[in-house]
Amino acid sequence: MPGMVLFGRRWAIASDDLVFPGVFELFLRVLWWIGILALYLQHRGKLDCASGALLGSYLIVLIVLLALIICTVSAIVAVSMRGTICNPGPRKSMSKLLYLRLALFVPEVVWASLGAAWIADGVQCDRTVGSGIIATVVVSWIVIASTLVTVVVVFDPLGGKLAPYSSAGPSHLDSPESSQFLNGLKTAATSVWETRIKFLCCCVGKDDHTRVAFSSTAELFSTYFSDTDLVPSDIAAGLALLHQQQDHIRNNQEPDQVISHSPESSQDDDLDAELESCHHYMQFAAAAYGWPLYIYRNPFTGLCRIGGDCCRNRTTEYDLVGGDQLNCHFGSILQTTGLQYRDFIHVSFHDRVYELPFLVALDHRKESVVVAVRGTMSLQDILTDLSAESETLNLECEVQDCSAHKGISQAARYVYHRLITDGILSQAFSIAPEYRLVVVGHSLGAGAAALLAIMLRNQYPQVRCYAFSPPRGLLSKSLYEYSKSFIVSLVLGKDVIPRLSVTSLEDLKRRLLRVIAHCNKPKYKILLRGCWYELFGGSPDDLLTELEGGDLTQPLLGEQSLLAHGSPSYSFSGESPLESPTKYPPLYPPGRIIHLQEEGASGRFPCYAAAQYSVRWSHESEFSRILIGPKMLTDHMPDILMRALDRVVSDRAACVSCAAQGGSSLDAA
């Protein structure tokens, strides 16, 4: 629901968000009240010390004050349980209760200060009484500090601008003031987001690329969040409902509806060959992450294996540049790829905004020159990811629309200039002129590798690219079709990144609003059931929503109430600000897509060692929506992807071996 309005401003908390914190405080206060009451009743005869009468009065007032607080918090919890996310009417008394609760903090602070002063003067009464007073004062100040931290967390810098409009509802959708207000709100929101990002990334630097990335990221966030009036708990509840709804729909699908795009027979023929190549080149994509990923994959033996390389000095002997712990990085690369020192042409761990680390090596097994680009691993890389506008590439190819993700295309252009201008590729092919060029990467590195392959194709027509878990919002439709002939992407399960784009995020927001508006249960029940469902599973058939005629295509009035003051820029049937055809056009993943999907009912917790996978070519439209699930993040991890590839390749090799043995037995018979 819309955030609460208190003291003339909107806060990033709703009136139905106080159930869980209220129950926790209630539990703490009741125990505290019982303890103080027991202390007073058992030791009131031992208060004959100095200031004993004052101490007795202190305990009596504290008992009464705690009783009042317990009653008030109980009322807050009871009211917060009423209604639904889109129906805050039963909770209209919440603001008065909160004003009362905040008023009770004044005597609580005064009493905590008196207790602290009494402790500072020294405890001269019974030891048990003194210990009880000290514990009371400590708990009091912990509660007060926690309250202040909560106020800071839920403070909305734009709350003063939003408050006058929070109660206006959708009735002023067409008012002339609405558009002017929203434009001003977006400008203010952009400024707030830019300040937040600069604070979080204060150690990144202040060069031109960084400033551009700050502005791009702030504009993306402000545009995405400025047209809805949701608090964080609303989003959590919506994601829980979406996951259950998604599983409910999948369980009721007919078998022939699950795969809506059948691969062509010509694609099936080379699936095994491409899968084997993916298995081989994934080692290079993982090696580009350097020693952190290697230690993560080998927590007990990794440090021992690369420790000797960390202590050696080879920077003068090999082309190893940028970053810290370079020799540790190099040692982990050698262990991951199995290559020799002499096989590496260039290794760079230089890392800035729009400038990614990469390595160039000679792969004698596949007779290829491999360029591996590192994925997201730093704040600089995150800023590159979030520069999500579209920009036109200057390519020498017969493609009409050559637009791509701005941040990733800038990173690919940096690597391209290093490879060509610095003569790195020329040096590699002077050593092995008969080798072919292969570009690989994972995550952000996969997107940069795909764009790099497109840029290099004019000079190296035989270039191949293997993109592991690439972002969806990467290429225009024309470039996507063009890339199919030389780029292969690999996606594992419900990995969120190959489904992530500005367009799919906007679709997710629409679905969140819709499922929240259709929900007929209070938020605390949704969150409790959602946690249970994520941890232990269950049947999604008893979905906590009531659908009117099963129609989810038309917005309800509740959906309009979740828009930021009836935003005219957002339409459930039309375009939203993030779907501007100039700045945020629909973008697509690179090349043909191999999808590894876990067979059978997936567990609530990742357990990839015993998993069985199906492998098939998939159409890009199958990754147009973000899927909610416990593995949507873990499926993206490079070590998980490597384990899945190992399992798939070994299983398929075993099947081929069994088939060959069966054929031999038939021939012998």
Q: What six digits make up the tokens of 423? A: 């003569």
Radius of gyration, CA atoms only, the chain: 30
DSSP 8-state assignment for residue 602? P
Q: Which residues form the catalytic set?
A: 443, 495
Could you give the C-alpha distances from 480 to 131, 475, 487, 563, in angstroms and in order?
71, 6, 10, 34
For residue 586, which amino acid is it?
Answer: P
25/87 Cα distance (integer angstroms): 25
Those residues with Cβ within 8 angstroms of residue 580's Cβ, 6 or more apart along the chain or in another chain: none
For residue 567, which amino acid is it?
Answer: S
Q: ∠ CA 264-270-276 to the nearest 5 degrees?
A: 140
What is the arrangement of strands in the sheet containing 592-598, beginning at the earlier edge strand? 320-321, 344-348, 358-363, 368-373, 436-442, 464-468, 487-492, 592-598, 613-618
457/315 Cα distance (integer angstroms): 32
Q: Which residue has tokens 């514990």? A: 135
Q: Is the Cβ–Cβ distance between 452 and 439 less than 8 Å?
A: yes
Contacts 24+ apart (CB under 8 A), 340-343: 341/314, 341/317
Q: What six digits make up the tokens of 13? A: 């908390």
Q: By three-state DSSP, how is residue 431 classified?
A: helix
Q: Is the Cβ–Cβ distance between 65 and 50 less than 8 Å?
A: no
Q: ∠ CA 359-361-362 to the nearest 5 degrees?
A: 170
Q: What six digits make up the tokens of 456? A: 């290099």
CA 373 to chain centre: 22
Those residues with Cβ within 8 angstroms of residue 350's Cβ, 6 or more apart along the chain or in another chain: 321, 322, 323, 357
